[in-house]
Amino acid sequence: MREFIAKQKANLQNDVFSGLTVALALVPEAVAFAFVAGVPPLVGLYAAFMIGLITSIFGGRPGMISGATGALAVVMVHLVAEGNAMGGEGSNAGLYYLFATVILMGLIQMLVGALKLGKFVRLIPHPVMMGFVNGLAIVIFKSQLEMFTHRIAGENVWLQGYELYLMIGLVVLTMAIMYFLPRLSKKVPAGLIAILAVSALVIFGGLDVATVGSFIRDGGGDGLKGGLPEFQSEIFTTIPFNWETLQFIFPYALVLAAIGLIESLMTLNLIDELTETRGSSNRECLAQGGANIVTGLFGGMGGCAMIGQSIINIKGGGRTRISGIVAALTLLAFILFASPLIELVPIAALVGVMFMVVIGTFAWSSFRILFKIPLSDAIVLIAVSALTVIFNLAVAVLAGIILSALVFSWENAKRIRARKHVEADGTKVYEIWGPLFFGSISAFKAKFDPAGDPDKVVLDFMESRVSDHSALEALFTLVEKYQSLGKEIKIRHLSTECQQLMIKASPKLEAVIEENIDDPRYHVMAQVMS
């Protein structure tokens, strides 16, 4: 019992410190993504707080961090711009169209969870998963490069000279602390110590570098200071709730829901692997959906799981829901009480933390195995990585799944075989081997010679499997060909379900099917379609 209590106490300490580190890393990310989406900084910060808190309490993956993300922000920017144009100059309608869309996005995600569709993420092939983390690591890295610029006359210009060297030096110092500190002691949170150490160096050394506060002000914000999120009743008065509005926001809501769920469930799978535990994908869908409904009603921009912050949390020892709750509540405390202190944190320290996240996220083993795995898997891995960078996560993952499915179908289509022999009574037997499905029916049909075969023919499916409706149709066609030539054909070793489907489609086929005590048992997808 003492050992159990001691372990829980140690976990609590890790969860708290890790949550504090995550909260510091959430601030610039939430602010940056709010600017990308074209909304005020507090809209991003409120989303990070509300989504982070709700998913930490009710989500299906303890230790996973959720909040405003760049994958969603790049879609939202078009929604906000179009909404503002529809509402007229100065109406700020785009913001309220965004809130309405986020609410609808949450409803779609909850529907996915209620229908228990979240489990299908476990069908994602490993090359797609590796391509996902590689592409996401590149996206995170690219997003940090903007921190090496400053705004002049409304444009981002690269830092030069002393400013650039100072920025690079502080980033490298942060990374060095995070790399070497765990070698000395794993009881202290390396990320948090690195941020505090570099912040102290900047403050007491009087170094003139970009900070969280200057970053917000350069983007047009007034600072982090704010109150508690408030119910946005203006949603129901600013935008008309009619068919035209639904036609406008529904496509955006569908895309946002898909991106949010894919990124969340892929992150869930990744955290499962890192912690050697298993989360609940359907529960996560429900929690993400509920969180987005709440954040839309209370002035947040919506969000999903954040792979970078989740890895920071896991690497920092965060394993339970406490770490996410601490991160969310700490972020709220920053907004309410400690905004002046957080605004002093140098951007370089946070960039250093995110660069270490990039190093930890990228699947470096992919370089080692790239020429050892099948060519098709290598192509999928590279394609998903590239599409994640070029387009977005949803497009990349869906393309990777489709490509993997096509490769799988093609490879299985080539496996159909027919061993032939003639029995003593002159009956020709075709022993079918391999799966019979839509991809293999052409090769299957080519195995037979109805005109040249004897008067009695038997198809033996003991070593084959009829998989779908296309396979059933191929059997119907083959039987009709033999019968039209006046020849007798029998089919052996079909599953009971397949027999029933064939007889239901054409009762006369009952005479063709031979029932055997050792008929195989498998399900046919065509049953759903019939």
- pLDDT of amino acid 10: 59
CA distance 446 to 380: 31
C-alpha neighbours within 13 Å on the C-beta side of residue 400 = 33
Write out pLDDT tens, residues 59-68: 999 999 999 8
Pull the structure tokens for residue 102: 């986020």
Pull the structure tokens for residue 85: 């144009």
Please state, in angstroms and as integers, the Cα–Cα distance from residue 200 to each residue in 129, 193, 341, following that order.
39, 10, 11
CA distance 430 to 447: 9
Pull the structure tokens for residue 95: 């913001």
- pLDDT of amino acid 46: 93
N-terminal to C-terminal alpha carbon distance within the chain: 59
CA distance 79 to 100: 11
Domains of the chain: 2-405 (no CATH), 414-529 (3.30.750.24)
Q: What are phi and psi of 370, to 5 degrees?
A: -55, -40
Pull the structure tokens for residue 237: 């008065």
Pull the structure tokens for residue 516: 């055997």
Please state, in angstroms and as integers, the Cα–Cα distance from residue 428 to each residue in 65, 289, 455, following that order.
64, 60, 9
- pLDDT of amino acid 529: 39
- pLDDT of amino acid 523: 65
Residue with tokens 């029932």, as numbered in its chain: 515
Pull the structure tokens for residue 188: 């202290």
- pLDDT of amino acid 289: 96
Global pTM value: 0.72
Contact 256, 392 (CB under 8 A): no
Neighbour tally for 106: CB within 10 Å: 26
DSSP 190-206: HHHHHHHHHHHHHHHHT
Compute the chain's Rg from CA coordinates. 29
- Exposure string of 361-389, with b = 16+ CB inside 10 Å and e = fewer, is bbbeebeeeeeeeeebbbbbbbbbbbbbb
Consecutive 10-residue averages of pLDDT for the chain (530 residues): 51 86 81 77 91 95 90 84 80 89 96 87 82 84 84 79 94 93 77 89 93 76 77 89 92 90 87 87 94 96 89 86 93 86 86 84 88 91 90 81 89 88 92 90 92 93 85 89 93 82 77 75 53
DSSP 217-267: HHTT---S---S----TTHHHHS--SHHHHHHHHHHHHHHHHHHHHHHHHH
- pLDDT of amino acid 519: 65
- pLDDT of amino acid 223: 67
Using alpha carbons only, what angle is made at residue 507 by residues 506 and 509, rounded to the nearest 5 degrees?
75
Contact 161, 148 (CB under 8 A): no
Using alpha carbons only, what angle is made at residue 46 by residues 45 and 50, rounded to the nearest 5 degrees?
120
CA distance 365 to 356: 17
DSSP 8-state secondary structure symbol assigned to residue 188: S
CA distance 520 to 496: 8
Q: Is 275 helix (H, G, I), strand (E, B) or coil?
A: helix
Pull the structure tokens for residue 488: 């007798």
Contact 381, 130 (CB under 8 A): yes
- pLDDT of amino acid 57: 94
DSSP 8-state secondary structure symbol assigned to residue 280: -
| 212, containing H or E segment | helix 212-218
Q: Is 495 helix (H, G, I), strand (E, B) or coil?
A: coil
- pLDDT of amino acid 522: 63
Neighbour tally for 354: CB within 10 Å: 24
Write out pLDDT tens, residues 495-514: 787 788 778 777 777 888 88
Closest CA to 37 of 80, 78, 77, 91: 77
